[in-house]
Amino acid sequence: MNLIQELQNDILDSKTSLSSILRKAKVLASTLKNKEFKNWVDNELNGYPESKEKIPDYRQGRAESYGHFSGPFGSALKNFPIPSLNLPGQIKKHANELLLVQGVRVFESLIEIEGDSSDFHIPWPTDIVAIISDKVVQGYICISAWKSVSRGQVEQVLDTVRNRLLNFVLDLQERYPKISKSKDALLEVPEKQVASAVNTYIIGSHNVVTSGFGISQQVQQQIHSNDLDSLLRYMQEIGVQRDDAKELKKAIEEDGSRTEPGKFGSKVADWIGRMTKKILKGTWKVALSTTLTLITKALAYYYGWE
């Protein structure tokens, strides 16, 4: 069995690790003498530089950030969603931007170690946490923050890499059937044809990893600024219990108007914290990242921040 056949079989075998497949792909890239293909394989194996322009679309997306906050008299907010509305420009960009730069073995290890975990964390740098510490929730200090990455996003990256390799190999086989039988036939594939296939199947943009796609539009259509009834109605539509909705109404009224974009009052922040605990404990069976994003987006439209 030659390299092309081995590579194809390994790609189709879900038990073969992607990192092992990429090492064989590196041999193929060297044989075909295509620099772009080799660089792509190296980056997928070892990780990408943290530059958005150099990271493929399928490794980019919108991030949802969360943090732990310390408040007065020993109070605390755990796993609290961090709205980016009033964060400074570059920090806002950092909070909203998800760049999955790690090598594929890191992702494979995450899935193996975490088992059925639905979310992984990318910690914020401590200096950024310090800058935004008092800018999120009135009366609370942020002590740690992270970006949440769903298991599905990680698996999508791995699947996309595997699929691109498969499409590339199948295209070469279709054009040059002899490469499945002879190693020497690989050396005879024209460089221009290799480059064309690399650009089409390896470098080209296909599946983009996204988070929260369409959420803003969905919320905006149902909630009007300072319209408490529309807010409470929407909250119940996404699964908030009637009693919890009543508590939210009380919290909003006690906090009063919010003039600083993105900064929740302490009562509303406490309410969001209680909802987070319900989700984490399983008493409210919904997806953590998606539901908390809907809640914070809904409140942002109610307060007129968006």
Q: What is the percent of the chain with per-residue pLDDT over 90, rounded to a whole number?
A: 36
Query: Same domain, yes or no, for 27 and 161?
Result: yes
Higher pLDDT, 22 or 212: 22
Quote the Cα angle for 305-300-93, to 5°: 75
Structural domain boundaries enclosing 295: 212-306
Q: Nearest to residue 270, comparing CAs of 147, 119, 139?
A: 139
If asked whether residues 118 and 84 sit together in one domain, one would say yes
Question: Where a domain ends, among 211, 243, 268?
Answer: 211
> In this predicted model, which residue has the larger pLDDT, 5 or 289?
5
d(CA 284, CA 278): 5
Residues 265, 283, single domain; the answer is: yes
C-alpha to C-alpha distances, 207 to 30, 38, 210, 236, nearest whole angstrom = 27, 21, 9, 33
Q: Which residues contact 255 (CB under 8 A, 6 or more apart)?
A: 264, 265, 266, 267, 268
Co-location of 44 and 170 in the same domain = yes
| pLDDT above 70 coverage of the chain, percent | 88
| Among 189, 211, 233, residue at a domain's last position | 211
pLDDT band at residue 218 using 50, 70 and 90 as cut-offs: low
Question: What's the structural domain count of the chain?
Answer: 2
| Residue 87 sits in the same domain as residue 206 | yes
3-state secondary structure of 277: helix
Residues 165 and 234 in one domain: no
Q: Are strands 97-99 and 119-123 parallel, antiparallel or unpaired?
A: unpaired
Q: Are 186 and 32 in contact (CB under 8 A)?
A: yes
**Amino acid 284: pLDDT:** 67
Domain shared by 201 and 244, yes or no = no
pLDDT score, position 6: 92
Structure letter (DSSP) for residue 306? -
d(CA 147, CA 139): 23
pLDDT band for position 103 (cuts 50, 70, 90): very high
Say which range, 174-183, 190-199, 214-223, 255-264, has the weakest mean pLDDT: 214-223
- Assess whether 180 and 254 both reside in one domain: no
Mean pLDDT (the chain) is 85
Q: What's the rounded mean pLDDT across residues 144-156?
A: 89
3-state SS record for 48-62: CCCCHHHCCHHHEEE
pLDDT in tens, 37-63: 999 999 999 999 877 778 998 999 888
Same domain, 95 and 188: yes
pLDDT (average), residues 155-167: 92
Same domain? For 67 and 166 the reply is yes
Last residue of a domain, one of 156, 191, 211: 211
Give the model confidence (pLDDT) of 239-271 as tens digits: 888 899 999 999 999 998 877 777 888 889 889
